[in-house]
Amino acid sequence: MTYEDVKPWIPVIVALVVALPGLLAYINQRRKMPAEEADIYTDAAKKLIDSLAGRLDTVTKRMDDVETLLRTARAEVDTARAELAKSQVRIADVEHAGVRLRLAITAALAGIKALTAQLKAANMTPCWTPGDPVFAEFDVPLKRE
């Protein structure tokens, strides 16, 4: 049995719990006291029950408000989780692209080294070689920092 199943019965249960001792006392005193005194106690009991019923309505409304806030919070958490999952996929994609770029750079540098070696073997001087201090600002690190 869930809270939602019990929720409609809460006012009835509270009313019975509140009213039962008063009703028993009323029945007991009814036998002993005159009619006027019974009416006074009956009126007092009715006022007390009405007051408690109003408070019960307030508590029920507050519980409904809390449930609404809880549903909203759960929806926001679900949204945040979905966004986190999307971000993790994007991060994985970017990391994969970075690996591919590092491999491409490594292959390009290996090709450049092979070409410069060919130029040197043909007694030609290359205008640039990897690691040349003149072009150091264009060097790309191959390892992650």
The answer to whether residue 144 sits within a structural domain is no
Radius of gyration of the chain (CA): 41
What is the model's pLDDT at position 35? 62
Write out pLDDT tens, residues 1-39. 676 777 777 777 777 777 777 777 777 766 665 666 667
What is the model's pLDDT at position 78? 96
Distance from C-alpha of 62 to C-alpha of 35, rounded to nearest angstrom = 40
Indicate the Cα dihedral angle 92, 93, 94, 99, nearest 10°: 90
Average pLDDT of the residues in 61-67: 88
The answer to whether residue 94 sits within a structural domain is yes
**Interhelix angle 10-32/35-121, nearest 10 degrees:** 160
Nearest to 116 by CA among 124, 104, 108: 124
The answer to whether residue 86 sits within a structural domain is yes
What is the model's pLDDT at position 60? 84
The answer to whether residue 71 sits within a structural domain is yes
Lowest-pLDDT choice from 24-33, 71-80, 126-135: 24-33
Supply 30's token pair.
């009814």
